[in-house]
Amino acid sequence: MKYIDLRSDTVTLPTKKMREAMANAEVGDDVYGDDPTVNKLEALAAKMVNKEAAMFVASGTMGNQLAIMTHTRRGDEILTGEHNHIVVHEVGALAVLSQTMVRTISHENDFIYPEDIRKNVRSNDIHEPKTTLLSMENALSNGLVIPLDILRANYLTAKKLNLNVHLDGARLFNAATSLGCLASDLASCTDSVMFCLSKGLCAPIGSILAGDKAFIDKARKNRKLLGGGMRQAGILAAAGIIALQEMTLRLKEDHDNAKYLGKILLETGLVELDLSRIQINMVFFRFKQSDFPHERFRAYLLQNGVKINGSDDEYRFVTHNDIDRDDIVKTVKLIQKFQ
């Protein structure tokens, strides 16, 4: 059975063109810097975010953690949002790998504002840890996008306080598409940025960490320390090049599909859903019925070929390259038929 898979954009399959490019990729030993396809991907990635250098890494988590490891020293404190991926979904790696502390900022929308940075940065008191890094996320995993002026104000505030600034841009190109700006505009508010080539961009594996040359040189050594030096990685980078050159240009289609899905879900009258919060490819909603049979509902959708994620409290449907309007209509009709 071909499933309609709304669990995440991480489920996207590489396109036919990606598979062909992978099969034909020119490769070499990347630990020696000899892989021409990896070199091409890294140069392209650096250019797209207007940074001096970029490095191909195995995953978004690895890119974020390498950024933390490279920016900080043991015992340093990081300022970040309480629900940000680096805190909640990276297995405590910032403590395990970099031995850093974290001070989280809480806001309803998970935004961070300049006053949060000023308020939470530690003083020079002999007793306190040293705050050295601000880590932001955009797009946020709650589906919202932080506007460019807030990111810029945060960056300027952090720099005045001598902090480095990292951006977890797993969905950087979704954020840029939503804001109608360039990925490089968002990256200009950071010292380092991570973005994923998999997820909505459909590459099978891989993310990019970008920053200035000295930072990336140091991060490259840290990547080796973690066992992340890959050899003929051009096979994967070949798909990454197509992800950046072509798949970044089609994300609006996913965003429009998400808005359409939100609209017709709302029209069923069965759910609570805020259309203004559909800013990228994610639709969050709750069922109105207080005793809604969630477990039976999820099993019913699965039996009928629809895979979903979400807790009883809130469902999240994610649109992507392998979801079209017919899939969306079919899913909503199934929801309407559920009893």
Ligand X SMILES: Cc1ncc(COP(=O)(O)O)c(C=O)c1O
Q: Which residues bind ligand X (CB under 6 A)?
A: 10, 59-61, 64, 85, 137, 141, 168, 170, 196, 207
Residue 103 phi/psi, 5-degree rounding, is -120, 115
Looking at beta carbons only, is 15 or 198 nearer to ligand X?
198
Which residues, at least 6 apart from 243, have a Cβ–Cβ distance to it below 8 Å? 18, 197, 198, 201, 202, 203
Give me the residue whose beta carbon is nearest to ligand X.
Answer: 60
Looking at beta carbons only, is 121 or 281 nearer to ligand X?
281
Cα separation, 131 vs 137, in Å, equals 18
Looking at beta carbons only, is 83 or 231 nearer to ligand X?
83
Which bin fits 92, alpha (ψ -120 to 50), beta or left (φ > 0)? Answer: left
Looking at beta carbons only, is 21 or 172 nearer to ligand X?
172
Strands 282-287 and 192-196: unpaired
Looking at beta carbons only, is 87 or 101 nearer to ligand X?
87
Shortest gap between Cβ of 223 and ligand X (angstroms)? Answer: 14
Q: CB count, 10 Å around CB of 84?
A: 23
Strands 306-307 and 282-287: unpaired
Shortest gap between Cβ of 120 and ligand X (angstroms)? Answer: 21
Shortest gap between Cβ of 133 and ligand X (angstroms)? Answer: 16
Q: Where are the alpha helices (DSSP H) in the chain?
A: 16-24, 36-48, 60-71, 85-88, 93-96, 114-120, 148-160, 172-179, 183-187, 213-225, 234-245, 251-267, 294-303, 325-337
Cα separation, 158 vs 151, in Å, equals 10
Strands 207-211 and 53-57: antiparallel
Cβ density class 267-283: b for 16+ within 10 Å, e for less: eeebbebeeeebbbbbb
Q: CB count, 10 Å around CB of 204?
A: 17
Shortest gap between Cβ of 24 and ligand X (angstroms)? Answer: 25
309 bridge partner residues: 316
Shortest gap between Cβ of 207 and ligand X (angstroms)? Answer: 6
Shortest gap between Cβ of 9 and ligand X (angstroms)? Answer: 8
Looking at beta carbons only, is 241 or 332 nearer to ligand X?
241
Looking at beta carbons only, is 66 or 163 nearer to ligand X?
66
Shortest gap between Cβ of 66 and ligand X (angstroms)? Answer: 12
